[in-house]
C-alpha cells in the first residue's frame, strides 16, 4: 500500500529534499500527504499526490517508526 498512514516519503531533486507524511489513500487512487519539510511549503500543509508520484518517492520510515519519532520527549516534572 503506497499510502499507508504515517509512512514518511522523501523526494530529492536538484539538491533539495522534500519530506511528506502520508495521511491516507483516497478512494480514486490519490494519496493525501502533509508536508514535514519542503522548500517553499509550510510544515503541515496538505496536498494530494497521485499514487504514481507517491510510489516514485523514497520511503524513509515505516508508519510505526514515524509515529514513534513524533512522540515528544517529556521529562518528569520535579517538585523542588
- Please tell me the predicted confidence (pLDDT) of residue 74: 47
pLDDT class of 73 with cuts at 50, 70, 90? very low
Cα 59 from Cα 6, distance rounded (Å)? 11
Q: What's the pTM?
A: 0.73
Q: In this predicted model, what pLDDT tens digit does every residue of 13-65 receive, in sequence order?
A: 999 999 999 999 887 889 999 999 999 999 999 999 999 999 999 998 655 54
Amino acid at each position: 500500500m503506497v499510502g499507508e498512514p504515517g509512512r514518511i516519503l522523501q523526494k530529492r531533486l536538484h539538491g533539495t529534499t522534500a519530506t511528506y507524511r502520508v495521511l491516507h489513500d483516497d478512494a480514486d487512487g490519490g494519496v493525501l500527504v502533509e508536508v514535514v519539510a519542503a522548500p517553499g511549503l509550510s510544515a503541515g500543509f496538505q496536498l494530494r499526490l497521485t499514487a504514481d508520484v507517491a510510489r516514485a518517492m523514497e520511503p524513509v520510515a515505516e508508519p510505526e517508526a514515524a509515529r514513534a519519532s513524533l512522540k515528544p520527549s517529556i521529562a518528569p516534572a520535579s517538585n523542588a
